[in-house]
Structure 1
Amino acid sequence: MIASYMYHGSYEPFELPPEVTTSNVKRMIVSHKKVILFKIEAKNRCYILPSTMSKEIAFSKFSFVNSALTKELLLDVADYEGVEFCGSTPAYILEKSTPHQ
């Protein structure tokens, strides 16, 4: 179900904002789910990045599904820690953008 949601939703181009590299962003690693969460309160967004892509943050562009995850999907993707971390902030899954042809 999650894979279907992640791969069949509509996507928006996205570059991680410069705020991600500053201290006003909260980060959390959910190691058993292999995801990293970024909570940017100024943008009222919680982003979920697969940990395998963490080294690409500085030089890659990402896309995200333009509708927020439901609490049930967030629970599947990031477990209870992720749900608690994001709280009422909408959560979006990030994936690496592919160049349009």
Structure 2
Amino acid sequence: MFKFVVIYYRVDDEAALEEFYSSTHLPLLEQLPGLQRLEVSRVTSQPFGRSRFHLMIETYFSSEAALREALLSRPGLEMMDALRPWSENKLIAWFYADSFAEER
């Protein structure tokens, strides 16, 4: 599996963050072709206190090629354009990752 991860940092105006996520980011994610799984985590804390992160979104695709194809689609391009100001203002961290599970 290959995934695209976006982590939102905590901000003073969490309502604005939640509004952007629910009205812009999530609807565009759900339209990505080839999306196999979507996982959302609301960060509650970290060891020894409050986390600097608020929200983590993980989207899973069958391969890196499938992810790249999704990001070149209309919703993918719109999503990247919508996220760019958040990245430029250092309000999100985003990355691609090769994801695998280890059997125990």
TM-score after normalising by structure 2? 0.32
- Bigger relative contact order, structure 1 or 2, given CA contacts below 8 A and separation 6+? 2
Larger radius of gyration: 2
TM-score after normalising by structure 1? 0.32
